[in-house]
Each structure stands twice: as structure tokens, then as C-alpha cells.
Amino acid sequence: MSALFSFFAGCPRNLSDLAAAEIDTFKASANAGVDKIHPGGVAFKSTLESGYRHLLWSRISSRLLLQLASFEANSPDELYRGTLSIPWHEHLAPDVTLVVRSDLKNTDVVNHSTFASQKVKDAIVDQFRENTGKRPSVDFENPDITVHLFLDRNRAVVSLDLSGESLHKRGYRLQAGPAPLKENVAAAILIRAGWPDIAKKGGAFLDPLCGSGTPLIEAAMMAGDIAPGLIRKKYGFSAWKKHDRELWQRLILEAEQRRLAGRVRIPAIVGWDSSKRAVAAAAANIEAAGLKDKIHVEKRDLTRARAPHLKPGLILSNPPYGERLGDVEELIPLYRSLGAILTQEFKGWRASILTGSKELSMATGLKAGKVNTIFNGPIECTLATFQIYSEQEKEEIREEIKAKKDSPPALSPGAEMFANRLKKNLKHLKKWVKKNGITSYRIYDADMPEYSAAIDYYEGQWINLQEYMPPKTVDPEQSRKHLDEMIRGVIAVLDIPRKNIHVKTRKQQPGLTQYEKIAHTGERHEIREGGNIFLVNLTDYLDTGIFLDQRLTRDIFRQLAKGKRVLNLFGYTGTATVYAARGGALTTATVDNSNTYLDWAKENMRLNGFSGRQYSFVKADCLSWLENAGLEHDEYDLIFLDPPTFSNSKGMKRTLDIQRDHVELIWKTLRLLAPGGTLIFSTNFRKFKMDMEKLSELSIEDISEQTIPLDFERNKKIHYCWKIRRIGENPSLS
């Protein structure tokens, strides 16, 4: 059996799920596979052959690191000694050139990456000098060997970078336009947009704003089974003493044969651009990639875009989006024109548009079926994918839906029983949903003990099924059967594709784990509520970005907000802030300890047209932030306080237990409340008991019952909610 090595494949943010999927296709051993998926890469074990395949075939990864050692390093000296313990003579010769790159995270062992790299380099050269009298020299520009140090707190991992230069540098880009896409980012966009399946069916690819042609080339390589690393001149393993040249040459030969066989399967690929210089750059890059006969580029203005006489496929566009070529306002006409042309001229095609501005994406006038977050370097972008149906396709869809309703698939007795309950619930909610314009709501909540799950229905398109963790006494096989029956029942009743049903297991999450991601797709969808638009993520987190049970609470908050200075503590994704802004708040402040959630809150605000200095966002531990209440913070007329039940999140100086700490938390929050102001306090801790004795000086009105919407009526303890004011004050809010 071939030996297994520990690897780490680094990749751009939000793409580690795609990198992990690639790794599964490369593995050549049953014992190999993914160990852990991180936001910026994937740790996995595999054979050297699989590692080489990764270097040659990965379209997503940036680097491939081979772990040599992992050890505790509580000081610079321990870092030096740990590195010194590695038998470097097994990996490199004393006459090679090297460089050490360091990534530091959450550590005070050393205070600078350059110093950390110096300690590792010193250990390597000292070992060689002592054993051989010679030492490797350092070359920062073009080293033979790159050593990588990752130091997280006091844990050091020393690796060899087998990739050398970043794997996104395929070797074909001779010229680049303004703000070009990295090759691996372009490949990821193509995968997210569904290009592999479209290409297999012979659909064409068109980029009407092609720039220097990176997506065109990546699309052709993907469709033609061409290894992205095939024309690279140098890899980081070239001077590694354990490099298996015979194995590498065999894999190169195999890739060449696959390229020859795959080229004939490349469908029509076309690029247009209004810039003569961009077209020339694209043509040069295409020729360097060996694809001159497979990709057609020409100078053509977007206003003259007409669907070519090709089999409809994918239109992918990366238009300018403000951060690079102009202000957002100036670009809105371009996006409007793009949306109009797609709608009028490209019926039957799928379209994906990458933009760094939500406003510009909306300016197309098209409704996205899928939204993904893509990072183009440091810029967070939105990839919106649209299906532009022809009239024939629309009719076929209608007929398909009718046929399914006329002849539903047979269900097992259990699934049939669950489906009947679902139908009953939907019938109960139907009039209420229609009357109130509700588009996302709960349709089932453990109504039957054996089917223990909460099921939320989003926008008539997606299902979030949260299975409650069964007790250990329940047979796991029986539990799996019940889950399968729930999924089948949902499909039968709602006619939703399985891929739109997102299943999670909800259990008590102690400590930090309650905040960790469970996936890294970055896929988000737009939903509507109360005249607002919100982004939800149904895949990456246990919670989706909006608490549907607080729908009425948010509306009460909106009614109270007009002309008021509003504070949203533990702000999460800012849904309450959006409601307050919609209600006419004078100012809003959103405080949360998570950059992810604050960025999400900002996007929700921008999506609803709320931007400006009057809407502030504060990254802070709310408990520490409140310690300074009344000292450095403003007063607020209306405050929303909806803390987690328990938290010991990274960055907090102390834990939060809402039952233990609610009295202190409320009093400290009230220090920020202006005379006549109102505090809305809510918690979803089902066993919560308000300490009325210690809060007897306050006016506390229990509004829990009026904040529980119809779709959550079965579970009255889903949350509790109070209006809190100081006794004797005339409220400025009714």
C-alpha cells in the first residue's frame, strides 16, 4: 500500500467546498481523503500520486503544502528547536536555494512573520552547516524550495510548498486587462454557474465583456478535459529529494492524452469586447494556451450583442463594478442594458454575472435563481445566476409541474403519513400567508414525535430542514429512515427538487462550536419580508441569517422607530436594523462581535437602499461595549436586545449565560436608554425566567404572545419578548 502524506490545499475564501470535491476525485487510496475543510483551504491525507494529480489538475487550489512536522512552540527558541528536529537532508540538498514563508494566527510566540521565517531558516541552515559544512542560500525571488510555516497560537506546522508559484498561474496569461480575474477564481465561477454540465450537453459559452479572456480559456480547458497545470514550466517539488520524476512524467503523459481526446468535445466558445486592446490581449492569451482554434474573440460593443447561431448555453460576464473602473452610479446604465439584452436576445440561455456591488446586480432587472459570494482578491463579489427561459421551456415546465401533480410518486406509509400532516399544515397557513404577503415561514415543527424536525419554507423555492438530535436510545437506522421519509414527503407535497432541500441536525452546541461554519459555499438567496429584502445562507450555518419567529417582533420595532435613535445589540445580520430604517429611524447603530455578521448586516442594509453615516456598525463584544455605557456611547430612544442563550465566542472577555446575566445585561443596556425610551428585550431560551424582583424598579410589559406568528403558534416557547421602560417616565414611543 502506498504511503499516505498529510497535505493542505490552500484556496481563495469561500471556495474550500469546491477544493474538497476536487480532492475526492484525485484520491487513489480508500484510506485517503479529506480531514477538515477550513475557510481558506482543505487538510487531507493522500498518496504522493494523488498529490501530484492535485498539482496538475486542481482548478481551484492556490497552493499544495506537504506537512513535514507539527510541534508545540511556546517561544522563538522552541520554534527553532522544533524546526531543527526535522531531518532536512532527506528533503533538500545543501546547494539549493530556499525561502521561508510564514502565516501567523492568534499567536504571541513571535510578533512578526519575517522574524518567524528567520528562525525557521536559521534552524535549516544551521543543521546543514553542522552536518555538511555547507548551507542552502536564500533566494526571495526564484527559490528552488519554499518552506512554509503556519503558527496558530502555540502550534507550529512546517511544510514544503510543492506548488512553488501559486497554482492559479497556469502559464498562459501573457497580457492582463484592468482588475483581471485570477484563473482559479474564474474556474470556480464557471463551476458555480453550472458550466461543466452545460458543456457536457454541448451548450455554448459566451462572455460579452471578455477582457483578457481568462473565463474563456478556463471554460475551454474545463470542457476539453485539459489539465490546468499542463503548460506550467516550474513546480515547487523540482528540487525536492523525494520527488518521483518517473511518476510525474507518467501523469504528464496521461494528461497529454486526455487533452488530445478532450479537445474534440469543446463546444463553441465566444468572447466579445468593445476594446480593441482587450481583444488583442485575449487572443494572445488564447494562443499561449494552445486554444486558438477553439475560442473565437472579436471586437463588438455590448449594444450590438445578439445571440449567435449556437446551441444555448452559458453567458458569463464580469462587468466593471465601481471598485475598479468607475463609480457605481455611472455603471448602472451598463447593467440595465445588459439585463435588457439578456432578456430580449438570449432566451433559453443561463446567465451568470459577477459584480462587487449588490446595487449593480439589482440594476439588471433580473431575478437571480442562485447567489454565491466570490472573492476576487480582497474584493467580496456577488455571483448571481439567472435562467432566461424561452416560451417553449416555460410551457414545458408548466406541463412537467402539472404531470407531477397528476401522478405523484408512490410514498412509503411513513412518508405518506408525514406528507398528509404537511398538507394539513399548509392548508391551515394558506389564507394567512396570502393575506399578509408572507413568503418564508415555518411549515412543520415536530408535530409528530417520530418525525422530529423543524421545517422552514423559503420563497416557495428552498427548504431548511433542521432535524432535532434524537436521543441515544433511538436506533440510528430508524432515525435515518424517518429523515428520508420527511425529505420524500416534502418533495411530494411541495414539488421541490432535492438539491433545494438543506438538511441540518440541531443539537446543543457548547462553547465556540455553535458559531462554527458547517460548510463554506458562500451561496446566498434573497428573500422578502415586510417590504424588505434579506440575504439568507441555507448551507453554511445552522441558522440561516434570519429568525423567522421574530417576524412580528421586528415589525413592532419598525412601528416604534420613526424619528428615533436606534440601537441593535447582538445585531446578528441586522434584520431588526433594516426594519428600524424602514420605519424611519433617525439613526441606527448595530453592534456585534462577528465581522461576518456585520458585513452581512451592511449588505442587508445596502440591499434595501439604506446607506450613509447615519447607519453605523460596530465590531465589539457587546458585554465589554456595555461596560462603557454612559461614558463614551450616545443615548438611544429605542434599543433591541436579543442576546444568545449562551456564548463564549472568540474575542469575548467573559461568557454570557442569559439566565444568569440578564438582570445585569438589562440594567447596563438601560444606561444607554434616553428618557422616555423603550427597550425591546427578547430571548429564545425556553426555560427562561425573568427576575422581576431585581427589576422591580422598571415597567416591564410581556408582549410574547403578540410576537408569536401563526406559523410558530404550536410552540409558544419559541421565544419570549418584553417592552421595558423606566417607571414614571412618559414614553416617547407608543
**What type of residue sits at position 87?**
P
**Cα 590 to Cα 598: distance, rounded to the nearest angstrom:** 8
Domains of the chain (ranges; CATH) run 5-161 (3.30.2130.30), 183-227+263-392 (3.40.50.150), 408-507 (3.30.750.80), 523-726 (3.40.50.150)
Contacts of 712 (CB under 8 A, 6+ apart): 442, 445, 548, 549, 718
pLDDT digits (tens, 9 = 90+) for 417-469: 999 999 999 999 999 999 999 999 999 998 888 899 999 999 999 999 999 87
User: Which pLDDT belongs to residue 542?
Assistant: 85
End-to-end Cα, the chain, rounded Å: 75
**Separation between Cα atoms, residue 469 and residue 49, nearest integer Å:** 40
pLDDT at 21 exceeding the cut of 80: yes
Average pLDDT score over residue span 34-54? 91
**44: burial class by Cβ within 10 Å (0-12, 13-18, 19+)?**
buried
Strand, coil or helix: 406: helix
Distance of CA 332 to the CA centre of its chain: 26
Nearest CA-CA partner of 522 in 541, 547, 497, 509: 541
The model's confidence at residue 631, banded by pLDDT at 50, 70 and 90, is low
Within 10 angstroms of residue 488's Cβ, the number of other Cβ atoms is: 20
Give residue 363's identity as a one-letter amino acid code. Answer: A
Angstrom distance (rounded) from CA 162 to CA 146: 8
The answer to whether the beta carbons of residues 724 and 681 sit under 8 Å apart is: yes
pLDDT in tens, 382-394: 898 988 887 777 7
Helix (H) / strand (E) containing 376: strand 370-376
Residue 673 has a CB neighbour count (10 Å cut-off) of 21
% of the chain surpassing 70 pLDDT: 91
The residue length of the chain stands at: 734
At 239 the pLDDT is 94
pTM > 0.85: yes or no = no
Find the mean pLDDT for residues 63-68: 97
What beta strand segments (E) does 153-274 contain?
A: 155-161, 205-207, 269-273
CA–CA separation, 162 and 145 (whole Å): 8
- By three-state DSSP, how is residue 409 classified? coil
* AA identity, residue 199: A
pLDDT for res 430: 94
Q: Cell numbers 394567512 label which residue?
A: 432
| Residue given cell 483578457 in the structure block | 212
Q: Which three cell numbers stand for residue 17?
A: 467546498
Position 5 confidence tier, pLDDT thresholds 50, 70, 90: very high
- Express each pLDDT in 167-210 by its tens digit: 999 999 987 766 678 999 999 999 999 999 999 999 999 999 99
- Per-residue pLDDT tens digits for 83-120: 999 999 999 999 999 999 999 988 888 889 999 999 99
Residue in 297, 174, 160 with CA at minimum distance from that of residue 231: 174
**The three three-digit cell numbers of residue 95, written as one number:** 546547494
Closest among 17, 15, 7 to 518, alpha carbons compared: 17
Q: Which of 403-407, 667-671, 723-727 is the least confident region? A: 403-407
Is the pLDDT at 474 greater than 80, yes or no?
no
